[in-house]
Chains A and B, each alone.
Chain A
Amino acid sequence: MSAKTQNERAWWFVLPVVLLVAFNALVPLMTVVNYSVQESFSQGVWFWSGVDWFEQTLHSERFHAALGRQLLFTTIILLIEVPLGIAIALSMPKTGPWVPVCLVLMALPLLIPWNVVGAMWNIFALPDIGLLGYTVNALGIDYDYTQNALAAWITVIAMDVWHWTSLVVLLAYAGLVSIPDAYYQAAKIDGAGKWAVFRHIQLPKMNRVLTIAILLRFMDSFMIYTEPFVLTGGGPGNSTTFLSIDLVKKALGEFDLGPAAAMSLIYFLITLLVSWLFYTIMTRQEEEG
C-alpha cells in the first residue's frame, strides 16, 4: 500500500461554484453575445450578421438620445446626492440619544422596494390628487409631470434624491465617526477654521467611503429602470426614456433581439468602463494623498 500524497480530487470541490457562475453569468451573457451577432426572421431560423447590430446601435440616434439622457440624469443626481449626503452627515449628531433616531430615519427610504417608490411618487406628484402635485399647483406654479418634460425630469430626480441620498449619508457618516477626537482637538489648537477642518481632516478621512458611495450611486443610477418606469413610463414622449427603459422597449416591446443584445453589450461595457475609470482615478488620488 503506497499512500498517494497528491491527487486531483480536490478539483471536484470547485465544481459547484463553476456551475453556479456558469448558469447565472456565463450562459446568459453568452446567449446575449450569441443574439448580438445574428439575425432572425422567424422562430428558430438564424442568420449570421457579424457586427452589423453593433454598428447600427452605435450610429442610431435613438441610442444616442437615450445615452445622453442617461448621462445627464446620472450626472445631476451625483452632483446633488454626494454634496447633500455629506452635508447631512456633517450635521448629524455624533453621540447621544438622537443618533439611532437619525440613523433609522435615514435608513427608511433605503428599505422601500423600487417599484413601491415609483408608485408612491407617481401618486404623490399627480397634479389633481397628489399631495405634492396639488400643493405646487395651488401655489400657482404650473406643474404636471405627465405632460411636461421638465416637470417629469424634476420629479424623477427628486424621487432618486429622496430614495438614495441616505446611502451617501450613511456611508459618509460612517467615515466621519471613525475620525478620532484628537484630530479635531489638534485642529482647534492649530487654529484651524471650520472650512480647514472639513478640507484637511473630514474630507480626506471620508475619501474611501465616498469612493464607494460614488461608485455605487453611479452604477445604480446608470442602470436605473423600475422607478422611472413606474413613475413616468419613460414619458412624456421619450423625455425620461433612459437606457434600460429603451432597452426593454426594444427587446420586449419590439422583439428586436439582435439589436437589443448588441445594445445591452454596449451598455454593459460603458458601465464597466466608467466604473473602472472612477475607481482608478479615485484610488490613485488616494495613493498620492
Chain B
Amino acid sequence: MAKIGLKKLRHSYMPNPKSADDYALKEIDLDWSDGGAYALLGPSGCGKSTLLNIISGLVKPSEGQILFDGQDVTALPPDQRNIAQVFQFPVIYDTMTVYDNLAFPLRNRGVEESRIDARVREIATMLELDDMLKRRAAGLTPDAKQKISMGRGLVRDDVNVIMFDEPLTVIDPHLKWKLRSKLKELHHKVRATMIYVTHDQTEALTFADQVVVMDEGVIVQIGTPVDLFERPAHTFVGHFIGSPGMNVLPCEIRDGGAFVSGVHVPTENAGARATGKTEVGVRPEFVSITENGVPAQVVRVADTGRHMVVEADANGARVNFILNEGARIPEGEIALNFEPARTRIYADGWLVEGSDV
C-alpha cells in the first residue's frame, strides 16, 4: 500500500502541444493518503481515464511526476509499479479456469505454488467465487467476470493501489448495487488505496471517502460527498452532482450583494470581490415559493413519486425546485425564495471566497 502524489502533472496526446487546449490534463497536483478510497468523477472526455492510465503507467505523462510513497515512479512500466487495474469491460483469460485466472499474476511473478493456493482461496472466499474455482472463466456472467478481474488485483498483497476504470458499465442495474457494496466492503477489509473512475455520481459518492471532480482536464473540486453537495466550488460541480443539479442564475453585483432580475438575493458569501461573469447558485432543495421574491413562470411539474420537481423560468434562466408530495401544484406567475445560507455567488464559474459581512 502506498500514498500517491502527483506533482505538476500535465499530459497531451499531441506531439507538440502549444496552447492549454492541447492538453488533456492541465496541471494536476494531488496527494492521496495510504489506504484511502478515492473517486475520480467527471463527464466523458474530462481526462479522468487519462489520469488513471498515467498512474498505472499505461500512459507516460508529458510533464510532471508520479510519486508512490515519495518515490518517483514516472519512468516505470506498469508491471514494476505494483498496481492493479480493473477495466470497463471485464478482462479475463478465456482458456483458463477461475482459479488459474486468479493465480495468473502471482505465477507470472514466480510466487511458489503453496503460497499462490492459499492466496487464491482467500481472495475467492472474499469475492464469493469459491464454488466456481474449477470452472472455465469464459462461460461466466459479466458480474462474475468483473469479480475475477478485481480478484486478480487483490491476490497480490503488495499492490500499491487498485484502480477501477468505470467497472460497473456492463453490469446489470440490480447487480451494480450489490457489486458496489462488495467493493466498499473489500476496501474495509484489505485497506488498500483504491481509485475509482466514473461518470456516475451515485457510484462515486457511495464508494469514495473523497471525490475528485474533473472537467476539461482540470480538477474542479476535491472533497467529501457532503462537501460536494453542500458547498460546490464551481458551478460545474453544482450542476454535475445532484439530480436535478444546482440552479445557476445570472446576477448583478451591487454594494456587495447579488441581484437576480432586480431582486436582492441574500447569499452566504460576499460578492465584493466578484468580477467577470457573476451568477448565484442554489440547489433545488433550498428553493421555495414565497410572497415577495424572484419572479418566475412555472414551465412544468414532474412527479418523481417521492416528491415533485417544478421547473420554472426566471427571466430566461431555468430554476428547478422541489415540492413535497401533496403540496399544491403551482401555476403561472410565482415568486421564489432562495435560502440565504445555501445560496452562493460564483464569478466566472468559481465560488467567490469570503463570507457576507
Query: Which chain A residues have a beta carbon within 8 Å of chain B's beta carbons?
Result: 180, 182-183, 185-186, 188-193, 196, 200-201, 204-205, 288-289
Contacts and interface: CB of A to CB of B under 8 A. Distances in A.
Contacts, number: 55
Given A180-B89, A196-B108, A189 B78 contact: yes
Contact of B96 (A185, A188, A200): A200
A180 B89 CA distance: 9
B23 to A, nearest CB: 22
A111 B93 CA distance: 37
A191 B149 contact: no
30 contacts: A183-B91, A185-B56, A185-B58, A185-B78, A185-B85, A186-B87, A186-B91, A186-B149, A188-B58, A188-B78, A188-B79, A190-B104, A190-B105, A190-B108, A190-B152, A191-B79, A191-B108, A191-B109, A192-B108, A193-B108, A196-B108, A200-B96, A200-B104, A201-B93, A204-B93, A204-B94, A205-B94, A289-B94, A289-B136, A289-B138
Contacts of B83: 189
B167 to A, nearest CB: 11
B109 A182 contact: no
Given A180-B91, A201-B93, A288-B136, 17 more contacts: A180-B89, A182-B88, A182-B89, A182-B91, A185-B56, A185-B87, A186-B85, A186-B152, A188-B58, A189-B56, A189-B105, A190-B104, A191-B79, A200-B96, A204-B93, A204-B94, A289-B136
Contacts of A201: 93
Interface string B92-115: 011110000000110011000000
Nearest to B137: A289
Nearest to A289: B95
> For chain B, which range describes its interface: under 10, 10 to 19, 20 to 34, or 35 or more residues?
20 to 34
Contacts of A182: 87-89, 91
B77 interface: yes
A200 B105 CA distance: 13
B84 interface: yes
A288 to B, nearest CB: 7
Interface residues of B, dominant DSSP: mixed
Contacts of B58: 185, 188
Nearest to B91: A186
Contacts of A196: 108
A189 B79 contact: yes
A191 B108 CA distance: 6
B81 to A, nearest CB: 8
A196 B108 CA distance: 9
Given A182-B91, A186-B91, A200-B93, A192 B56 contact: no
Interface string B31-65: 00000000000000000000000001010000000
A196 B95 CA distance: 12
Contacts of A189: 56, 78-79, 83-85, 105
A68 B85 CA distance: 54
A185 B152 CA distance: 13
A190 B58 CA distance: 13
A289 to B, nearest CB: 5
Q: Which 10 A-B pairs have the closest CB atoms?
A: A191-B108, A186-B91, A182-B87, A190-B105, A191-B79, A200-B93, A204-B94, A204-B95, A188-B78, A289-B95
Interface in B65-90: 77-79, 83-85, 87-89
B138 A192 contact: no
Contacts of B93: 200-201, 204
B108 A188 contact: no
A200 B94 CA distance: 7
B333 to A, nearest CB: 55
A188 B149 CA distance: 14
B66 to A, nearest CB: 15
Nearest to A188: B78
Contacts of B89: 180, 182
A54 B104 CA distance: 55
Contacts of B94: 204-205, 289
B79 to A, nearest CB: 4
A191 B78 CA distance: 8
Contacts of A205: 94
A4 B58 CA distance: 69
Central interface residue in A185, A190, A288, A289, by most chain B CB within 10 Å = A190
A179 to B, nearest CB: 10
Central interface residue in B89, B95, B108, B149, by most chain A CB within 10 Å = B95
Given A196-B108, A200-B93, A188 B77 contact: yes
A27 to B, nearest CB: 45
Interface in B121-164: 136, 138, 149, 152
Given A182-B89, A185-B85, A186-B87, A192 B95 contact: no
Nearest to B85: A189
Nearest to B109: A191
Nearest to A192: B108
B270 to A, nearest CB: 49
A288 B87 CA distance: 25
Nearest to B53: A185
Contacts of A288: 136
